[in-house]
Amino acid sequence: MEKIGIFYGPAEGSSTEKVAQKVAEQIGGEKSDLVPVKDATAKDLKKYTNLIFGISTVGKETWNGDPPPGDWDKFRIELDKTDFQGKLVAMFCLGDQITYPRHFADALGMLAEKLIPKQAEIIGYVDPNEYTFEESQGIYERKFIGLPIDEDFEAHLTDERIRNWLDRILPRFK
C-alpha cells in the first residue's frame, strides 16, 4: 500500500487535529503523513494516491454571522487545482449531533460536492443509524459519505469508530 496523506484542519490543538492523530496512529506512522491544510498546496496533494481528509462542521456562529475564513476555506482553492482522477479519498468530520442536529457533519457533504465533480473516488461510507440527528448534508445514498465523529457527546466511541472505519477502508487503498 502506498503512503496515505491525511490532510486535516483546523490544526493547533483542535479536535480535528486530535482525531487526525488518532487515525494516523491506528494506521501506523510509517504508512501515513499528517498534513495540516492550513499551509498545504495542490502540489502536496499530488504526492498521494490515497487521501484522508479531516474537516470539522462549523457551529452556530457561522450561520449567524460572517466568521473569518478558516483553514479549509483557504485549502478549497488548492482542491480546485487538483486532478483527483485515480485517487481514493476517505473523509472524517467532527460534528455535534446534539447541539446542531440539523447540521450534523454537514462539512462531509460540502467537501464531497467539491470532490465528486473532480472524479475523486470516495470510500468509507458510514451507516447513519449509529447517530442521533435530524438532518445532514453529509448523507449520500442514505449513508454518511465519511466518518462522523462527535467529540462533544460521544468521545468514548471515537477510537472504536475510527478502528471500524479503517478496517473497511484500508484494504481499498492501493
Give 72-102 pLDDT, tens digit per residue.
888 999 999 999 999 999 999 999 999 889 9
142: which 3 cell numbers? Answer: 442514505
What are the structural domains of the chain? 4-172 (3.40.50.360)
Task: Note the pLDDT tens digit of each residue in 40-63.
Answer: 999 999 999 999 999 998 655 454
Burial class (CB in 10 A: 0-12, 13-18, 19+), 107: buried
Are the CB atoms for 49 and 86 separated by under 8 Å?
Answer: yes
User: Rounded distance, CA 119 to CA 45, Å?
Assistant: 14
CA 82 to chain centre: 17
Global confidence as pTM? 0.93
